[in-house]
Amino acid sequence: MSGLCEGRVVVVTGAGRGLGRAHALAFAEQGARVVVNDLGVSLDGGGSSAGPAQAVVDEIRAAGGEAVAHGGDIATTEGAASLVRAAVEEFGALHTLVNNAGFLRDRTLVNLDEDDWDAVMRVHLKGHFLPLKHAASYWRAEAKAGREIAARVVNTSSGAGLLGSVGQGNYSAAKAGIVGLTLVAAAEMGRYGVQVNAIAPAARTRMTEGTFAETMAAPDDADAFDAMAPENVSPLVVWLGSAASEGVTGRVFEAEAGRITVMEGWRPGPASDKGSRWTPREAGEAALKLLARSRTPGVVYGTR
């Protein structure tokens, strides 16, 4: 039986470890040819190594799949452009882009340096934008040339971007920005046969194990379900990245353990229209009445 992604060419950024590695392996298992991008940096973005990406490529090839490593910095124009070129030159096409690369520099806002803000924004938000831009340019050209496109993009947001997370103002802002980018890309690129969705995963990775060490620990029993294994998130990513997800675009999914949730985001709630300008006192009174009728916001991570 052929896999769900047989014949597709898939790019996964940040695929040397954690969620990205799990995604790359899962796509390969379903028949995709995979470009494994990773700079091999430390948890805070320092250093670099070709080792993690090549190790995943070797693992895919050992299982009978096809993969190549890409070590370019996807938060630069040249790195992102070369990522798309690597897929097309090596495998002849690009069908799916999974934006996953990222790292953390956690601090409360009063202790957050400008460099820490910029670095996290760069890898997460710019590191989504540039690969998406260059992949979209490729798909647009393909569509204008008359070739049928069934392209997919899966972006990686976070619960921190949907609800906020204490000590992660830079990360939360970047992940919230990724949701906005996803919505715009889905609206703009649909005409070319491109679907764009986002996931907000929860899993045990280098980025989470320090913060959630107890709740994310692997079970002692080898036969027990490991709820926080990164591999639990990948099946949804593979489906979203396949032709089987036809018609699904501009959506955000939360994925954790065995649970998948469609996140519904901002929608208009209670409203009051005076028909003329409010005074500040009237506006305050109206706001309090509306708040009393509204849903309670989700709890910011770290405040429980």
Selecting among 126, 138, 157, 158, the annotated active-site residue is: 158
The answer to whether 155 and 197 are in contact (CB under 8 A) is yes
* Pairing relationship of beta strands 252-256 and 259-263 according to DSSP bridges: antiparallel
Q: Quick one: tokens of 185?
A: 């890309």
Selecting among 126, 172, 175, 242, the annotated active-site residue is: 175
Selecting among 171, 172, 242, 301, the annotated active-site residue is: 171
Q: What DSSP designation does 7 have?
A: T
Question: Does residue 158 have an active-site annotation?
Answer: yes
Region of 16 please: left (phi>0), alpha (psi -120 to 50) or beta. alpha
CB burial of residue 267 (10 Å; 0-12, 13-18, 19+):
exposed
Question: Does residue 171 have an active-site annotation?
Answer: yes
**CA nearest to 203, candidates 225, 229, 224, 226:** 229
Residues marked as catalytic: 158, 171, 175
